[in-house]
Amino acid sequence: MKKEANFHNKAITNTSQSPYVKLKSINFGDCIWNSGFWAEKVKSAEEHMLPYMGDLLCGDIGHALNNFKIAAGEKEGEHKGFYWHDGDFYKFMEAKTYIYALTKDKDILKELDDYIALISRAQEEDGYIHTYIQITEDADRFENRKYHEMYNFGHLFIAASIHYRMTGHRNFLDIALKQADLLYTYFMPDTKHYQRFGFNQTQIMGLVELYRTVKDRKYLKLAEKFINRRGTFEIKHDSTTEGYPIGDMVQERTPLRESEEAVGHAVLALYYYAGAADVYAETGEKALIDALDKLWENVTGKKMYVTGAVGQAHYGASTNLDMIEEGFIDAYMMPNMTAYNETCANLCNAMFSSRMMGIKDESRYADIIELVLYNSGLSGISLGGTEYFYSNPLRMVNNSRNYDSHADVTESPVRQPYLECFCCPPNLVRTICKSSGWAYNLSKNGVAVVLFGSNDLDTTMLDGSTLKLSQDTDYPWKGLVKITVNECKDSEFEIKVRIPKWAVGSTLKINDEDAPVEVVPGTFAVVNRKWKAGDTIALDMPMNVMRLEGHNRIEETRNQIAVKRGPILYCLETPDLPENTSILNAYIKGNAEFKAVHKPGFLNGVTVVETELLLREDRNDEMYQAISKPEFKSYETQLVPYFAWSNRGQAEMTVFIPVVWNSK
Ligand SMILES: [Zn+2]
């Protein structure tokens, strides 16, 4: 029997009714990681990451819950944390909600209900909720965009939509709708003061998600309005903009539909683009998707690191010479040591790509999701789950960064147990918690296998029929992925299997025979047939260790290589060098042999790459000096996954290693 029509209304990003999305999201919970890499990460999120984070945010260090108590008049004290701290607490709640959805643990539901009740008591009569503005005397609502009201609201809208979808309870959703209705009254009319407002615009994604939740089109209209207005005002400071750079920094110099280059703060940019993709998913406006195509190509083709990270510089300038913080600079300008690469920005890159994949039905977008998840996303948290990186550079050299633990916690040489700017940790943990929701998508008459990892899928196809699959694999350490059909309809449908772009030479077998389709890296291999229970698909991806080089316009990687195996980037870390040897003295032979070795007891179980390095013995500590052929000493060692670096004490690290091609 067919189930109700709107059977995918519990998706993370609910595209079930979005007319311009070709690959729809599955309900969260339809796919469960059952063992292996992501199952272990989700378990760690449940048992270590979230309890620790809860202690921080609900205690006096994180102070996020205290802020709500003070705003509700239930506690004395001052607001602590940055302006956007509420938003980071909502992300923590969103992560908890995913764990509730997976475990149905009533204690989690009760904990969330307690937070929601407090937030409700802190919310003003007219719907406004922003603890900094409410508690402090120095700012009024919607007077200065630097207070990140839109960011906090956006995360409220998203977390509340997720809570409603996973629990069926309206308590959080009602708070969000009240705030959204208030936003509508301020920002829908063309009042000059409010027209340029908006910083870190997660409210666009959030409003679209509210529209998808309650079907009231005014939220979609408001989301669209925020896009339409941007870039229509003279770029000079006014009373609403003081306190942060303007222009390209906040993507307001060029209207989105005319944009061809990703500019400004990388998190702001990518939340904005992801929100615009959500609007396109509902409206189908060509000018919007044409611009998003160009922006995605620009980000991933000209400004992205080999780890999937984005936002090259802490401070810099756009090509229009607007000052930029934590953001994009020129194409191909990719410093390793000073790379900023905020964890949030990297995750936003995946969020933007996940939306584009749904819209376009192309697997290359999912390659970016995977690249981020295994590398520049996961590098943001320690293996123990309780220490965080904000910035994710590709090279770390002792004393190379202008790091002062009191002044700026964002560029730390080791992961920190708390970041005063706490946006990244809950963003990463919610992403880990929801990762199974990204594993599959549904096509008109089929299913797309997007991410690999042992899991069980029990979902409803878009025609209402039941589909059950299981995936069995040791990915990312091994390249064999075995998919078994456990239950399906009698008629033909397609199973689309993502062939990663790096997976050259992959084979695809159906019931042990070559699949009758071309297997092209960077595309979906689409097998359309009558499936039956017990059918198997075996995708075998060669897990050769690859040498990667950068585009020849990237000066910072010239004559250096990065080592990658499958989706995992590797790095060299000083614990794997002789004592007192700097990472800067390490070179690699062009013809070095690589041996992948799985070490179950090392760094929570990783595959390392064993190889021979060349260590330079002579000194080069002057600014410039004469040189003849340097002296090298051979050294057998290992490279470790980039995401797992900095788990053996403070260390130097590099992804790119200078190569000596002619060495014997
Ligand atoms: Zn962040």
What is the distance in A from the centroid of ligand 1 to the CA of 418? 13
pLDDT for 405 beyond 80: no
pLDDT for 317 beyond 90: yes
664 pLDDT band, cuts 50/70/90, is low
What is the distance in A from the centroid of ligand 1 to the CA of 344? 4
d(C-alpha 213, C-alpha 154), whole Å: 14
Mean pLDDT of the chain: 95
What is the distance in A from the centroid of ligand 1 to the CA of 179? 24
The sign of the CA dihedral 211, 217, 222, 225 is positive
Convert the pLDDT of each residue in 617-648 to its tens digit.
887 778 999 988 889 999 999 999 999 999 99
Q: What is the reported pTM?
A: 0.97
What is the distance in A from the centroid of ligand 1 to the CA of 351? 14
What is the distance in A from the centroid of ligand 1 to the CA of 144? 21
Convert the pLDDT of each residue in 149-198 to its tens digit.
999 999 999 999 999 999 999 999 999 999 999 999 999 999 888 888 88
What is the distance in A from the centroid of ligand 1 to the CA of 425? 7
Distances, alpha carbon 2 to alpha carbons 106, 456, 461, 494, in Å:
30, 21, 10, 19
Mean pLDDT of 238-267: 95
What is the distance in A from the centroid of ligand 1 to the CA of 298? 22
Convert the pLDDT of each residue in 100-138 to its tens digit.
999 999 999 999 999 999 999 999 999 999 999 999 988
What is the distance in A from the centroid of ligand 1 to the CA of 422? 7
What is the distance in A from the centroid of ligand 1 to the CA of 246? 20
pLDDT for 451 beyond 80: yes
What is the distance in A from the centroid of ligand 1 to the CA of 502? 29
What is the distance in A from the centroid of ligand 1 to the CA of 342? 6
pLDDT of res. 197: 87
Burial 216-255 (b: 16+ CB within 10 A, else e): eeebbbbbbbbbebbbeeebeeeebbeebbbbbbbbbbbb
Mean pLDDT of 478-504: 98
What residues sit around ligand 1, an ion, with C-beta below 5 angstroms? 342, 344, 423-424
What is the distance in A from the centroid of ligand 1 to the CA of 94? 16
Closest CA to 8 of 489, 459, 470: 459
pLDDT for 584 beyond 90: yes
pLDDT of res. 191: 87
Closest CA to 86 of 179, 185, 209: 179
Comparison of pLDDT for 211 and 662, the residue scoring more: 211
What is the distance in A from the centroid of ligand 1 to the CA of 47? 22
pLDDT of res. 1: 38
What is the distance in A from the centroid of ligand 1 to the CA of 562? 26
Burial 512-527 (b: 16+ CB within 10 A, else e): eeebeeebebebbbeb
pLDDT of res. 270: 98
What is the distance in A from the centroid of ligand 1 to the CA of 660? 37
What is the distance in A from the centroid of ligand 1 to the CA of 481? 33
3 pLDDT band, cuts 50/70/90, is very low
199 pLDDT band, cuts 50/70/90, is confident
d(C-alpha 183, C-alpha 216), whole Å: 14
Convert the pLDDT of each residue in 55-98 to its tens digit.
999 999 999 999 999 999 999 999 999 999 999 999 999 999 99
pLDDT of res. 408: 62
Comparison of pLDDT for 207 and 630, the residue scoring more: 207
d(C-alpha 321, C-alpha 420), whole Å: 30
What is the distance in A from the centroid of ligand 1 to the CA of 421? 7
What is the distance in A from the centroid of ligand 1 to the CA of 442? 31
What is the distance in A from the centroid of ligand 1 to the CA of 216? 31
